[in-house]
Structure 1
Amino acid sequence: PQVFEAVAAELVMGRGDNGHSLGTLPMVISILAGVPLERLENAFPSQSVIRAMPNTPATVGAGITALAAGKWVSPDQMERAKTIFRAVGEVVEIPEHLMDAVTGLSGSGPAYVAILIEALADGGVAAGLPRAIALQLAQYTVLGTAQLLQETQIHPAQLKDQVTSPGGTTIAAIAKLEKAGFRSALIEAVLGSYQRSRELGS
């Protein structure tokens, strides 16, 4: 993002392998974090510009991408962009003012989940499990829980209540999480990434 204008100018003027400069193409899709549509449209005048925020699970076809349309984008062009990103996961269309929030949640989110999985595995090792088994258990617990929530469409709190019995092991664990500020730490992580994305775009 910090050198966007200089690179964009080169792309507009330069020629690619197909004999076209970016300045002559009908649609430009940007995946740059923190670069707003206004800057993109200034760099590519009178062109259809779409901002996209995919995330790293797209590399295995399990990502989610948020799209925001510029002022010249037609419905057909937006559908074309959605088709492109559906090849690597789910797609949502949002107004641009929400893009920094998307960056904080799903854009940076895989890092939070990776830390969660690593910490779960470390807990398993601390309790006596071999490292490889602990990591496998942690990965499939997160993967399976996400799939269960997606397929049943129940609220996460409802699933938590189903797993939590009176005086049991899970409620004892949840009490520890609440005491450590687990929820607020995740909320602050999302907001920290969101704020940094806003700073990059200013």
Structure 2
Amino acid sequence: MMITVKFIFHVAFRWDAEGPFKPLHALNPTRLAFIRSTLCHHFRKDPDSARPFEGLKFIDVGCGGGILSEPLARMGATVTGIDAVDKNIKIARLHAESDPATSSIEYLCTTAENLVDEQRQFDAVLALEVIEHVADPAEFCKSLAALTVPSGATVISTVNRTMRAYATAIVAAEYILHWV
């Protein structure tokens, strides 16, 4: 019975590059190239290496279904993905299990603040398109800083804080098109 349930769950919630998260899937290669280049430079790693992040611990804050966590793991990082939404973590775990290169990702339904309380730290802390969803961005940034080891790196991205960007990214993408 467990296999059947797992299969149905997988079919219903698999990654679909042509589905509602199509814009995120389309953007991901560009984001990954920037992250790879920037972090290889920061950590003095060979950007041409297949696994340049070997030996480094990364956290993907607001990981969703793991679209960023998985490529980071394939590049050699030890990855923890966190999200406050349990459904996202279940989807991420299920997808990661299908590939031995990503099955070791630690997915947790928690917050950055909880991990700070646990005194967890990472070489690189990534929070992409998350800060616009938190109640207190300044406190959130303090938590990200606390999760970052000395000489580590923190990467944050968000949409522009203009009315046009808000209308496009938040209202249209999230509430009308239900992309997020």
Q: Which has the higher helix share?
A: 1
